[in-house]
Amino acid sequence: DLTQMQGGYPIIVNDQIIGAMGVGGGAGGEEECARHALTEVFGPQPPQIPPPEGAANSSNGVFGPADE
């Protein structure tokens, strides 16, 4: 099962989830910082897809297939 929550990113290599990075506790921007770090270390990450309209937490996206 996969639970989607704000505050973290999956670590994806070769289209496989190999782990996750949790972030939080700051005044904002933690998720963007984590995404940048993952891109620097592991290469391009999948794009974020906006949540469906009316979702309980509209600031959190979901992940689509990795960019080629």
For the question of whether the overall pTM of this predicted structure is more than 0.85, the answer is no
Residue spans of the domains in the chain: they are 8-63
In degrees, to the nearest 5, what angle opens at C-alpha 23 toward C-alphas 28 and 47?
85
pLDDT tens per residue across span 10-67: 888 888 889 988 887 777 778 788 888 999 998 888 887 776 777 665 444 555 555 5
Q: In Å, what is the CA distance from 65 to each residue of 1, 20, 52? A: 18, 16, 17
Written as one letter, the residue type at 38 is: L
Amino acid 61: pLDDT: 53
The CB-side HSE value for 64 (13 A sphere, CA atoms) comes to 7
CA nearest to 12, candidates 21, 22, 3, 2: 21
Cα–Cα distance, 60 to 57 (Å, whole number): 6
